[in-house]
Structure 1
Amino acid sequence: MQPRAGNDLRIHLLGGFRVSVGEREVDDGDWRLRKSKNLVKLLALAPGHRLHREQLLEVLWPDQDPDSGTNNLHKAIYTARRALEPELAAATPSTYLLVRSDEVLLISPGQLWVDAEAFEHAAAEARRDSDPRAYQAALDLYAGELLPEDRYEDWAAGPRESLQSIYLNALLELAQAHEHAGEAEAAIDPLRRLVAAEPSNEEARVALMRLHAQIGQRHQALRQYQHLRAALMRDLDVEPAPATQQLYQDIAQGQWVPDRGSAGSTPARPKPVQTSKSQEPALVGRDREIDLLEDAVERLFGGHGQVIFVAGEAGIGKSRLSREMVDRVTRRGGTAMLGAAYEHEGRLPYGPFADAFRSIGGLATPIGVRAIFGEAGNDLSRLPESQVSAFRSERQRLFAAVSDALRRVAAGAPLILVLEDLQFADEATHELLHYLARTTLESPILILATFRVEEAPPISPTAQLVAALQREQLALRVHLERLPAAATNLLVSSLVKPGPIDRKVFEIVRDIAAGNPLYTEELLRTLRDSGRLQLSDGRWELSGDDVPLPGSALQMISARIAQLDSSARQVLMVAAVAGQESDYALLRGAAGLPDSTLLDALDACIAHGVLKESSAGYVFGHPLQRAAAYENLSRARRTHLHGTVAAVLEDQYGDALDDHAEKLAHHWSMSQHSGRAVSYLIMAGDRAAAVHANQAAEASYRRALDLLDAPGVTGDRDRVAALLWEKLGDLLALAAASPEDEAAYITAADRLQSARTVLSNSDSDHLVRLYRKAAHAALTRHAVDAATQHLAAAEALLDDAFESPEWPRVRLIRALWFWERGMHDQGRQAAEDSLRLARERDETLDQVNAYMTLALVFHSSGSWKEGLALEIEQAGRLADANPRLGLLFDAHLCLGEYHLYGDSAFETVEAYARQTLERAKRAGAVRAEALTSLLLGESLLAQGQWDRAAAYLEQSLTGHRHVGSTAGQALALHRLAELRLYRGELAFAEQHLHEALALEVDAPMAPHVYGRLYATLASHNLLRNDAPAAVRAIEASEEIADRVGQCITCNALVHPVATDTYVAVGDVERAREHATAAEAVAAHWESGAWRGLAERAHGRVRELEADYAGAEQHFLRAAEIFERIGQTYDTARCLVDAARVVAANGGDEGALLSRAQAIFDQLLPGGGGADAAGSILMKDV
């Protein structure tokens, strides 16, 4: 090590923060302020060791106004200077910290050395030289992770991950350098260090297996495989890649032979898509668009994502522009994924995304998917088949899996994802694209989506998506106009060569094609094929003035198709019916031609530029070419060919028919036997519903109903109709479409009773189920009379069916009927009957639903506590190990909320929670202990006893993690996030919320969780002054409620926050709508907490309307209510609200603020209240 000069500044960030000036090491206590230390850390990490003042304010004091933040920054700079130079005289410039204009710089008269920077430089030099000694020198600088004391600081996370990645790559590259030099034993040590840091790194483990086997340590090689398998199963729930498994088998059986030239045992990685460059027309007249997209490419390779929509009419050059961008990205080392939606092929759920993932090599099997995408592959491997269990994986998980998979691809190289013809995509694809636009902004992922403007009117899903993303500033729209004359001339020159071109050629092409590139290309091809465009004396000229020209691109394409012989036209007709792309086997089976004739016909189609070869078979060069071929078919021939194609596909798919249900449904529905589509439409609807593409599912079911009287339907039409109407009712109920859902169930019951055969026992159960669902649908809209009729019909059918599984479910609806009528004792009895019957039949879900219903009646009777005590004694310990029993205890998570928000004093809730917690501890029931710890923590949180609340909430989180209750974990994290918000610790609150939202909360608890989480996320965003993000959180809560349902109480917590959110963006109508909903909840439950929330919501609306006096009255009433029931934080918040409107109305707000401040000081003694919770709320007063 070189001796230090007296004025050198050396900063250590790896393994911990240390600073030395010359020979003196700065003592930790010298910094005095944590922000002073963080200031130096930020400057040490910054490029050039300089940062703009606003950057520092945003990181260090994000929640303070500019003046306060600037004052704090000056204090931090002063304190940091004193730490670095204790002897610095007053008013003397610092040697190390300089403020210049609006920048703060870290400098040194001697050497300024930062270990992280030195490590990066050393690793880069080692990579350039591939010298093991250089690698070792670089690795010696890596003393540990970056700033471990700042592990949860957002500003440190990115550099930390980057440096750790460099460290791990350096270890791997050092091992490879040793291995290439024949130093197997030396290569093992860095690999061991790598897998110690990242146990599931398959590439490193495979290298260790090879090296140990190479030096004769076969047992060690096999142990590495076992370690790898355990790590992958633990971390990602996947098996090692097939090549790794084969290597293990070869080593175990003594068959492995070292081959340095073919490592070949690392997992597959995505391969860039190769795009055809043959006969590609020139890209002209698009300089402005190219500049915009080139900026996006620069952003992409700078690590940032973007969504760009390319819009224009058919043939305007959207696909050509997309191919240009793919070429530019892949030339720079990026990866491309290509997907498209296709007209006339049925709107497959997520079809363009499935297409895009298939465009990457290595996705032939689910194992291949997991080998590339890791944990996300478990969900992603199902995406192409559109099958994901609704119970095990809600759509949010699928969306997250796709997002994670794309980020994994982009981690290897910046990614461009092209989605063509979005106007033909299904609703679910649009929703997934909206999700990705929000979640991939900070990843190197460029999403380029094209659509035809004439096919996407303003009310279409595509137009609405584009408008929404533009509104949210999440997407850029590029509209392609027709080419001007000069650009058209250039295009003509590039297509007609060699030789000069007569001016008349340019004029006629411009007049007819009118600047449409595809039309221009087709016109020139037509002119040349017809002999009108000829090369005469070295110059291209037009001959003959009276030959009529086709009037459209479609007509020109049709004219070219007409030049083909009959066999080629036959193949083209089959291809047009089959879709945009067809494989050889399908064309062979449907065209009915010998192989030699078929191949000649395909060659002719390719030569005429109508078809092109693709990886899957043959594809039309442009959708308009397919449209022309299809439009030329008579209706009778289309019908015949659709049937032929459907029959061939059935033979091809064999046992996998349900995987291709949408395609089969499409072709059979267009055939002469259209009734054969019904069974496939039901499959397609079920598959769409399973991935929450509910609009696509509804369309499939309704189309099946339309075809029930068509030829080809198999089975009893009335029974099929009953099944379809029930499925429609379920979708309508999920979408809260009342009374349509009730009508669908009754229609199903009528059709079932019209069946031609005698009803069996299963039919009777089906009929009971339909009446039971109809009664429930009626109750949801408070139609008691209709519910009475439906419920009576169900009960009458059950009189002689003692073993029917419908008994507990019908009794459950009866309990809800009693509750709706205010007959709580009878409702409780019916719910308990339902619970008893469900237990007798060992139906866990029915038991959980019975508990949910008991929650409603217990809220009125106050007897739920005895039920929980009994459950703890009877099944407490068993539930810890039995997930089915565990669901019963999770149901109490909601029951406790009813009690918490009821009119019982919090002291009473706390006393009961402590008593029940002791009972759970005595029973050794971890799950019950976690549940009651949550209730106790929530009670203490509401009372303002934050430290004690935090302890119990953490205890609850630990317990729920231990027993695997995702619902319990999510709710504990939710309350911890609320506590962090109250304390003003916004970053920690956000961390808790994102951790909770990442959990997979299964039905039936999902309706009780997600609404609360998104409501609190919206509150967090409002405190960060990010109203658009708050709106997105509220919209997400509404979207997920539509998918998974909602709990009356739990989802009611959204309305007050939604009111705040829409007030923040000035949307008085939406704000009033949610305030009215909060009022309805308060009127229904008649409890203080709900009344206080409703009063405050009304106050916020009045404030937005500038009715400050009215707003003040609402806020003061809310404060009085919260004070009476002991909710201290909410009391202070409402006092701050009242002070704000008093000040706005010209009054003296001082007394109100003093009362609020006193509460904040009590909540966070020692001034913390003002600095954290209070300052955030009072900053706008």
Structure 2
Amino acid sequence: MPSAPLQPTVPPVSAPHFVGRQRQVRTLSEALGHSPAVVLLEGEAGIGKSRLVREALAIDATPARRSLVAVCPPFRESLTLGPIVDALREAQPTLGDVPLTALAGALRPLFPEWSPDLPAAPEALDDAKAARHRLFRALTELIQALGVNLLVVEDVQWADEVTLEFLLFLTSRSDTDRPDLVLTYRPEDVNDQSLLLRLSSRLPSGTTQVRILLAPLDRAETATLVSSMLDGRPMSEEFATFLHEATDGVPLAVEESVRLLCDRADLVFRSGQWVRLSLSDLQVPPTVRDSTRERVGRLPAPAQTVLRVAAVLGEPHREDLVTSVAELAPEASRAGLAAADAVGLLVMDERGRWQFRHGLAATAVYESIPTPERRMLHERAGRALALLAVPPIVALARHFREAGDDSSWATYAEAAARRALDSGDHTAAVIHLDDLLSTAEVPPADRPRLARTAAMAALGRRESVDEVYHRLISTLRAMLASPDLSDQQQGEIRNYLGRLLINTGEAEAALIELDQAVTHLGHDPVEAAKVMTYLGWAYAGPWPASTHLRWLQRAADLVPAITSPADRLSLAGNRAAALLMLGEESAWDAIAELPTDASSSAERLDIARINANIGTGALLWGRYADARSHLERALEIADAEQSERLRNGVRVELANLDWFTGQWEGLGQRAEELAEADRDRPGVYLASIRLIARLAAAGGRRRAAEQQFRLALDEAARLGAIDDTVELAAALARLALADGDPRKALRVTQDPLRTIEEKRVWLWATEIAPIRLEALIAVGDVDQARRLTSRLANGLRHRTAPGPRAALATCRALMLTTGDDPARAARGFARAARAWERLPRPYDAWLARERQARVLLAGDDTDAGRRLLTTVYENLHRLGARGDADRVAQELRANDAAVPRPWRGGRRGYGDRLSPRELEVVRLVVAGKTNREIGRILSKSPATVEQQVRSAMRKLNASSRTVLAVTAVEAGVFAEDAEPRAQS
């Protein structure tokens, strides 16, 4: 697994916004506007009754309204009038000058601390009813004297009988200045004899009566609530659905569940939305757990039994099955179900099946069952379900697992996994089998078969690498330590383990497993050929390119024996991509023969994966139009097939392409989102960090860039991803050169360059060769620099690789700076700049122009040097390379040249001159590209290209595209020295 910096960060959690209750707030406010009013607000625990009251009172707050809020505690023996008394004490610590009559003396027993301010106690009455009536009158007088015109009593289902009688007394009064009442309660906890029921049936005329029933939030409202807790950023559809189903939209359960997920670091921000990392069930928040257990504890024994059975079953079932598992008499079972239904814990669906009303309540009950009883109930459930006409295989696997019956569990788990694979649910198949392999006592003869099936399912998953993936890898590694495996079984397991490790980015470990696997796969030519093809990839290991090529040839020799079109496609695509990474020109011929589409989903995904690999290889070659074409095709299929894992990898490569081609606008934010999108896949994550670091370095944030480059380099080296270390080392060396430390640059580039030389894959040298060459020249080792240039030229011979060749042109220009002919060196950098421009790769082109300008300034052509340096400054600043632009600005000032003021807003006019973007388009028109091709290369729409072509034609007075091309060349728009012939 990646080191600590790669772990998800805990998102900040804030209090949730008020969501989905606007209509109810309006209803409550309107009712209170027509006094006297009695509002009954009912809903289950955690549904948001108190929050709704607070929001409504905040909206309607006026100096004329004074509210008194009383809360009934859930005591077994409630205190007489306790909620009202406590609320009055809190609202009025001392009576002071409150005007009261002698009647208020009846309050002395309730408010002994007010004795100095209360009238004398009245004469005792022998009639208890009369005494209570006098007390109620005194309380009412006190409430009116305090100016209270709204009394809110919460959780009235727990109120004592005297409090309920007092509320009835208030509502029965005919005077119009009596306070409005808002009462909140849980209807499932109100029995048929409660006085609360009279409040809705015996109100005097003229009273505004409203009953508000709060329902759970729907899925969209649940998502909005969660988003408000997590910086207002959205949650994924999968996460929203999961959380809504788990909490049933009860706001308190939603809120507490989100906090638990955050405490467990189980949330991460990916692709612009919050997603859940773990696939495990949601934990029960303590508030929900305690409330549920308290409600269950008040029920009779038969109801508690059927609740435990329903929790164990987990899914809706008819009364007869519940009765069978509970082992109750039918009458007792029926009574228990009725009692559980009455308190709102169980409900019957339209098919007559019983289930928990809320999933978290079911989990709370399940967790309260003692382990021995739980195992017994699972055993009973498994035996009962196995007798059904159509046994539920997945449920049976779960029940026998929890019952400890490994033999039955293995039977049903394997059947469930195969059914999941048949339906395309690879994740469910992996979970079933990995759980079985890592937990149960499975016979040794069965384990390899189950492991192969689990690994095949994992490789077929469309989701990103996650805990399921890593768990299975650990399981396979543990299995390889068993002495019971045959050589063939060892080979099969290592084969799949190696391929899983490729997807987790553990390149060196993958190569080791595959190398050991291939010798034991002679019985299976398809798998042997696949492994040989993977060994042909040059991403890791000490082998030179020739060894990788031999593996590819051995795989090709097995292809005639393979009859499956899908397997032949996969092998051909992998071989073409491997050849591309090795820098073999024959790769392009192999690519041209590959199909572009297929009929089955699996083959389409294979084509997408192949296109993604080819796009990545084309980036290495510097063939950016080809790269974009293949990557966009891969993304199109990945989107259509909903393959998250593939989609994230392709999006990273497209972001890299935009970096190279100068499409930097919004790239920083994209890179941050991509880094969060796949933290558990080191290859994708590190590529995102590398891109973030590039932007930081170009923007002048040197310290941040160095830290990120170092993090990515250390992790890539640990994982054995040799190809990833090269550019990272080059980036760190560039920073060292900027600090004036060429020896540090040499140290950091030494091992990666040695790897390139040993593997003889010179396509990898694009970034590192010019940097190392510059460091060698800086320390005076010109001979070594010359040898490096010669080796790079020989390594690129006969290869149409524009990117590495542009790097070679830069190396040759650097070598010219060691002579005494500045003009010749300037022409060398001009050639290098043109080579970068043709890719197009504007950032490197302008850096080459900067070197050209510096050489001119060092020679006799200082005016031309200043003009060119000014142009470089403007374009680097416009591109977004502000750090480089600042460096150029310092050079301009050192040479007594004015630093142009950057354009900071509005549309910049260029008069009759071509704008930089028009220059890009015209350059490609001259190269013979169509508008569609230009749009693909520059990431523009054909309409935008057409507009820029027409603008250029107008400025150059050209009547056609052909005339535009000729005029542009004749006008010297691209006038530079001719490209020299390649040296051998």
Tell which structure's C-alpha radius of gyration is larger: 2
Give me the TM-score of the superposition, normalised by structure 1. 0.38
Give me the TM-score of the superposition, normalised by structure 2. 0.45
RCO (CA 8 Å, sep 6+): is it higher in 1 or 2?
Answer: 2
